[in-house]
Structure 1
Amino acid sequence: MKTQVAIIGGGPSGLLLSQLLDRKGIANVVLEKHTRDYVLGRIRAGVLEHGFAALMREAGVGERMDSEGEIHEGFYIATNGERRRVDLHGLTGGNSVVVYGQTEITRDLYDGREKSKGQVIHEALDVQLHGMETDAPYVTYRKDGEDLRIDCDYIIGCDGYHGVSRASIPADRIRTYERVYPFGWLGLLSHTKPVSPELIYARHERGFALCSLRSQTLSRYYVQVPLTDKVEDWSDDRFWGELSSRLPEDVAASLQTGASIEKSIAPLRSFVAEPMRYGRLFLAGDAAHIVPPTGARGLNSAASDVYYLYHAFLAHYHEGDSSGLDAYSDKALARVWKGQRFSWWMTNLLHTFPDHIPYDRKLQQTELDYLFSSRNALASLAENYVGLPF
């Protein structure tokens, strides 16, 4: 098989890039090691910055997002028993975010690829990358017991932190930066009415909590837990009780509880790999960088990678201009590190760290007090939350 762009990984990043390129006549193939049902079964965040939403519309798959997604013009930070609102719309000159689950994004992208008869090959096993430093790279894989090959111009690694793409780069040609946090998020999904029409980020001495939602009948809640905890340690009753204890009394009183649909613990880490290019291989999304979910930057940072690659390939194939491809890594990393800074700041502001002394906790509270005493500080928070320009 021959194509122009081989995309490794059939999650939102790979599918979005595939859809965008296909609409501009740039041939591509997506390889995904899991089944479609497995990919759609992943429960992930769903706070989309305005730039991501615009990309979905440009890809021709934004109709359901626009009709069913929740437009949020603000969110709350709760501490010391009270909520204070961050007015995203007012602080950023009219910008907002869209709350729309990643599962639904992926479903819309799959539908878009099917309508366009795009090639998404599932259960592609033993994927290997070859000739990345040559003008003729290719990918091999195994499907239904048969060894297959795709010749291409470029390879895009959208296969996540544990994928083969970044691992295929020689160790002396890449540098990584990482911070692992000493806690995780225990998340619970339930068919219950959200406790708040806008997200609530709660700082409490017992640990962080987040009240989120997927729709007006589907709620997503999180509590900070030690890394030693297991999902089996947490019954639904224990979860609801712990969540309630970390929320302001008026919020806890209106909390609607119910049986969990899904429950999982996600460890938190910050990670960046540099550069994001090795020859004809380009990394995007979690293959190159990961953030804690506190500031909702993960999927949105991946979207900026897709934006830069999409426009770089347009210029390369339509105008013969490869400057965008040559500048991709530097341009992408500049925005990635700003997303890392924001997520690191939000995580440090709102979580309880095991090694914190009273001095550290006083500084956290002082930072929050300053934040809500300064319009400029709030504007900086809002600007990062709705998404910095591409």
Structure 2
Amino acid sequence: MGVHTIKMPDVGEGITEAEIVEWNVSVGDTVREDDVLAAVMTDKATVEIPSPVEGKIVSIEGEVGQMTAVGSAIVSIEVEGAGNSPVEKAPPPPAAKEPPPVAEASEEAAEAPVEAAPAKAEPARPAAAGPAPAAPRRVPATNGPPRPEGERPLAAPSVRKRAMDAGIELVYVRGSGPAGRILSEDLDAYIAGKAEPVTSSFQPNNTITETKVIGLRRKIAERLQDAKKRIPHITYVDEVDMTELEELRHHLNETRRPDQPKLTLLPFIMRAMVKALRTYPKLSAHFDDEAGILREFGAAHIGMAVQTANGLMVAVVRNAEARDIWNLAEEAQRLAAAARDGTITREELTGSTITLTSLGSIGGIVSTPVINSPEVAIVGVNKIAMRPVYQDGAFVPRKIMNLSSSFDHRIVDGWDAAEFIQHIRRSLETPATLFMEP
């Protein structure tokens, strides 16, 4: 028998470490060739590690959430033949594990204080103090009238002080005095467990749940923290009249061909962004602040924020400038579905030059989106709401939507940010221009 050691693979792109996000095997399991042993994550892409051999798992290195360097051993499998690693036999147990005479002396010494304890004098304590419980007694009885919510139990200051020192909430102690006043003997009976606690319709919940932040959620946290730390954000908000565009969108959906996708707002906004980027190309860019270089892209690779069960992903609609409304809608739907079912590729999650984020119908009035570094701009979409708008001497109902967009103030001046959003607004308010060449 031999041992085959599997190491953290090199996933390319200069990655030096990866995070273990899932173990599919345990020590003692028998695996076959190509069985998935673990899943690791690097930069929002999850990679499964299959077994190249058949055998028995003898060791696992690293816990879920641990960052492991490329080339480090992560799994050892006992296989037929020589394997690829030397078999290390466990050393014999050291003699120190056998109980020596010193240990017997220690045990006798440890028992000595127990025998001598009764002889040790303890200072007298007041009988009224009672033993303090380890935790507040908060288990109500199922019978007895409940104390009204918000009612402050009646008790003397001395009784309150004793209850506080003992970790007891008086709301659960039944009082036998006038008007339900809690007396000292009531507290004594409660501490001794001889009194039924008062029931209440309100029960405090002091549970604390700890969850280790790993995988995609940790990657999101790291990227957003870095973006807020490095980039001075400026957020610009303006409202857009979407009435005509919504009428056009509904008409197109009603008359679309069977092979055409259903149109949402996103492809229209992407098209408006493409037209605006023709005038303001430096907003489709990456800023390398360490090298002091701004890279402007002729292509508009629009990142599209997609909420998934595991967290937020940014899928990339590549070359949006070369797509029409229908093709933008089709690609956006394909990428969103792939992100949610976990089949999206690493290439489809990288390389965006500007990002579009939307919270859909729950988008609120205003948001302050965080820039997807190293990009310099992100366009945020809020919900559409019917509002009264004053036009031609009268108030009329209009469908209004806010655009909340953030920019890297090191690269984009406030004037340019406002002009960029105004360009998008004009395109959306005159939707026929979206079908014209930029």
Normalised to the residue count of structure 2, the TM-score between the two structures is 0.16
Find the structure with the greater CA-based Rg.
Answer: 2
Higher relative contact order (CA 8 A, sep 6+): 1
